[in-house]
């Protein structure tokens, strides 16, 4: 499968715990994006990378959120001290430059 891969698909965590999600983009894609989608809404932009450089971060990305893309390949999104409001689907996408973005199947986070 050469599409965007996300791991895990589902995560249930207790409030206050830290969680980390991984995204493997399509191999030749230089841009990688993270979006968050809550129930009944469209995806909202969180951050994006061009190669290993994090070029843009949304206001939604509080200090508890951090994303990395070492070596410009896979990316991780970490949420520290999770809150119930963090419960959402976290979507990763990749693109070759400004061409269309291809999305993974997402990681559904539930904070209890």
Could you list the residues that contact another protein (CB under 8 A)?
Answer: 31, 33, 35, 40-45, 48, 55-56, 89, 91, 93, 95, 97-98, 100-106, 108
Nearest approach in angstroms of CB 108 to another protein is: 7
- Whose CA is closest to 47, among 73, 25, 76? 76
d(CA 66, CA 18): 11
CA distances to 1, 19, 33, 99 from 77, in Å: 22, 8, 11, 23
CB nearer to another protein: pick between 48 and 65: 48
Nearest approach in angstroms of CB 81 to another protein is: 26
Nearest approach in angstroms of CB 29 to another protein is: 12
CB nearer to another protein: pick between 63 and 100: 100
CB nearer to another protein: pick between 3 and 16: 3
**Contacts with 41 (C-beta within 8 Å, 6 or more apart), sequence order:** none
């Amino acid at each position: 499968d050469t599409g965007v891969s996300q791991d895990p698909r589902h995560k249930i965590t207790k409030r206050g715990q830290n969680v980390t999600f991984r995204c493997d983009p399509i191999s030749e894609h230089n841009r990688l994006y993270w979006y968050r989608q809550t129930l009944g809404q469209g995806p909202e932009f969180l951050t994006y990378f061009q190669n290993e450089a994090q070029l843009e971060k949304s206001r939604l990305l509080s200090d508890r959120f951090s994303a990395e893309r070492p070596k410009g390949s896979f990316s991780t999104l970490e949420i520290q001290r999770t809150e119930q409001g963090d419960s959402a689907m976290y979507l990763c996408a990749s693109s070759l430059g400004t061409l269309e973005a291809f999305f993974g199947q997402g990681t559904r986070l539930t904070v209890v």
